[in-house]
Amino acid sequence: MISVFGSCVGQEEIDEIRTSFEKQWLGIGLKTRSFESLFAHRLGLKDFVFLDNGSNSLYMAVKLLNLSPGSEVILPSFTWVACAHAIILAGGIPVFCDVDVNTQNVTADTIAPHISSKTRAIMVVHYAGKPVRMEPVLSFGQPVIEDAAQAVDSKLGNKYCGSIGTIGVYSFDPVKNITTGEGGGITTRDSELMTRARQLRYCGIGRAGFEAAAMKERWWEYDIVDVFPKLLPNDIAASIGLAQLRKIDKFQTIRKKIWNIYQAQLADFDWLIRPQDPASDEQHSYFTYSIRVAKGKRDQLAKYLYSRGIYTTVRFHPLHLNPIYKSSYRLPICEQLNDEILSLPLHPNLSDSDIDAILLSLQKFNEQYM
């Protein structure tokens, strides 16, 4: 089966992990700090806080805003459940908005109808790595959390996605552009928020262990600054991340090549709509290649490709349609995308023969059913 997503790990990652094994240091340590420093440098920022996964990173981001209970946070319905869960777990209320049909991103126009006296923040999601146009969103004057889980290599102008709003959130799970096995993190230009994040991630203990020993005479005593879960990363994950960072440009070259092949080869299929290429002031991460196919035909195509050993998926199922959130909104574009969108395989492990098989299957579907 040709997978729709995939990471690419090998000897470089094994070599990095081996050094941690040899030092018998598996928890948070020097490898973590090195990964944080190198990733921050790539983003053009002073610091980055590595955490155990992307979902918890979203929770951390919302908590850092220190919102009062019942605060409303506007977010796209067309996103992963962790976005809404982070808001609820932090005591807020998720308010779902629609997205642009062509980019699958929120815009100022889709956000505006949901602004109220209870709005205290906005969460944007850079879908598939296509940057959200941030300036109009920032003009609302609300704190903006950027979910850059799919946009680790995306830029708007000369700024990386995740570094433009109030807080940026990243994910390094096994299907992302670079992986640490599981992992995530946050960044912000606000140094006080960065300090706060470091204080919180170890059960709310400000400083402990070796870090405290350099500053306190009785380092085994610690101050708890807040009640918070443990969101610590570890040096095994950081080891994988260090190797991945050295290869990210190679990975992105492969992703862009596959994207361009799809764009060229599918141009004559008038029954599908291809995703938008990046604008002149954008850099795309090419996380996933999502086509749109007419309602009814999309499901038929997905099943046909599966029968030929090609796995596809719908990313995402609109959250406002899930009864658990008790949303009363009707969001027509999200609901349209729910019936039309389909992600084709795109990742560095795809071989030329895989790509040929995908394109041949699409051609066969075109001949038989369209």
Predicted pLDDT of residue 222: 80
Copy the structure tokens of residue 125.
């999601």
Helices 54-64 and 191-200, axial angle in degrees (round to 10): 120
For residues 142 and 133, give the distance between their C-alpha atoms in angstroms, rounded to a whole number: 15
Tell me how crowded residue 94 is: count the other CB atoms within 10 A of its CB: 20
**Unique residue bearing structure tokens 């070796």:** 210
Strands 341-344 and 289-293: antiparallel
**Unique residue bearing structure tokens 């807020």:** 92
pLDDT in tens, 218-271: 777 788 989 999 999 999 999 999 999 999 999 999 999 999 999 999 999 999
Predicted pLDDT of residue 329: 83
User: Which residue segments constitute the domains of the chain, with CATH numbers given?
Assistant: 11-244 (3.40.640.10), 248-369 (3.90.1150.10)
Copy the structure tokens of residue 175.
């299907």
Predicted pLDDT of residue 210: 59
Predicted pLDDT of residue 209: 59
**Unique residue bearing structure tokens 């799970």:** 173
Separation of first and last alpha carbons in the chain: 24
Q: How many alpha carbons fall within 13 Å on the CB side of residue 133?
A: 15
Write out residues in the chain with pLDDT < 70, as ranges: 207-216
Cα–Cα distance list, 244 to 79, 121, 313 (Å):
25, 33, 25
pTM of the model: 0.96
Predicted pLDDT of residue 221: 78
